[in-house]
Amino acid sequence: MAIRLAVLGDIHGNLAALEAALKDLQRHKPDRIAITGDLLLHGPRPAEVLRRVRDLESQGALVIQGNTDVAVADFDYSAAFPWQEDVPASQRAAAEWAHDQLADDELLYLQRLPADLDPAVTVERVTRTDARVIVCGHTHVADVRELGHRMICNPGSCGYAFDGDPAACWALVTLDGDAEPTAELFRPMYDAQSVAEEISQRGLTGDVYRAATVRTGRLVR
C-alpha cells in the first residue's frame, strides 16, 4: 500500500504561505504531514504559525525544531548559528521580537521539539543511514536528487524562499512497497506582497531586506 507524505518547512513566521501550502496539499490527501523546522524567525506572524503547527501536530503531523527555532526559544545563538562567530544585531532583534510574541507554554513547546542542528554532519549521516528516502530543509531551495541509492528531498522554504520563486513550497513523497520512491515539488501562490508590506511596517532592523526576500523569493541582505 502506498504511503503519501507531505513535507514542508522553513515557514519563518509566514502564515499566509503556510495556509496556501496546506490548502494545496489537502487536495492530494496525504497520509501524514512532516514539518522540518525553522517555524518562526523573520516573518510577521510567529505566534499564529506556531498555533497552526501545534494544531497540525495534534492531528498527527511530525514536527522537528530548526536552528532558528533555538534562537527564538532561548537566544542560544551559538547553537542556532554555529557557523557565525558574531550573530548580527538584526538577527538577534528578529529572534527577540518573535520570542516576545509567544506565550510561556508556546516557548516551552518550541524548546522541547526534537532537533538536529549541525549541518556539517549531513553527508556523514546520509552515508551511515540505511534509509532509502531522506527529507530535509534549511537551504531554502527546493530540490529532489539521488545520492547513490538514496533520494534526498528538500521541499524548499514554505515562507522565505531563496530560489527565485516567492510562491510557497511543499513536497509530496510517495512510498509504495518495492517500487522506486517518488517526490514531487509544488509551489502554490499566495500574496507575498502583502506579507512583505507587513514585515516592512514592523520596523525592525533588517526588515527592509526580509521584506524584499519574501517579495522576490531571493535572499536579500
pLDDT band at residue 125, thresholds of 50, 70 and 90? low
Continuous H helices in 101-206: 104-112, 122-128, 192-202
Domain ranges of the chain: 3-216
Would you tell me the crossing angle of helices 89-100 and 67-74 to the nearest 10 degrees? 70
What is the mean pLDDT of the segment spanning 54-62? 97
Q: What are phi and psi of 186, to 5 degrees?
A: -125, 145
Q: 159: which residues sit within 8 A by CB, 6+ positions away? A: 10, 11, 12, 13, 14, 16, 17, 18, 43, 168, 195, 214
CB atoms < 10 A from the CB of 113, how many?
Answer: 18
Q: CA gyration radius for the chain? A: 17
Of 136 and 25, the structure prediction assigns the larger pLDDT to 25
What is the mean pLDDT of the segment spanning 137-164? 91
Q: What is the pLDDT of residue 120?
A: 52
CATH number of this structure's domain 3-216: 3.60.21.10
Strands 32-35 and 3-8: parallel
The model's pTM is 0.91
- In the chain, the N- to C-terminal Cα span, in Å, equals 46
